[in-house]
Amino acid sequence: MTTPENAKIVGIIKVPYDADKEKTTFTKSIMTIVVLLYFLGALLGGILVVAAALVDVKLGMAIDSQMFIAYAAYIGGPTATAIGFYAWKSKAENILKIQNSNALSQKECDTSLSAALANMRGE
């Protein structure tokens, strides 16, 4: 099966592709910074929780479970949010890819769906 130079196969769908258009966007830059800060915080938080637990054990005190609860919330909250957002975003992108691959006109599409996903087109 041959494909034109400007298309690549994503799953079973041919998607128009232009290598020159792939550049770092503002959103990607911000997300990269946020993810790096999240992992830095997770690493530092893990080290501090373990260090505090070791100090508690060394002093003969009971280990404070509040540190572990706060650390689990720090890790779990953004992770769950990111998974939900990624699922929503990938669903929206896949709807648009299928819509574009079938060459549907705007008249044939549900206008409310097109309006809701208009910001995902990347044009």
Q: What is the mean pLDDT of residues 10-39?
A: 71
Contact 16, 101 (CB under 8 A): no
Task: Answer whether residue 123 shows pLDDT above 60.
Answer: no
| Rounded-to-integer distance, Cα 49 and Cα 33, Å | 24
pTM: 0.51
Q: What digits encode the pLDDT tens for the residues 72-100? A: 888 888 888 888 888 888 888 888 887 77
pLDDT band at 26 (very low <50, low <70, confident <90, very high): confident
Task: Answer whether residue 51 shows pLDDT above 90.
Answer: yes
- Considering 1-5, 44-48, 79-83, 106-110, the range whose residues carry the highest mean pLDDT is 44-48
Residue type, 89: K
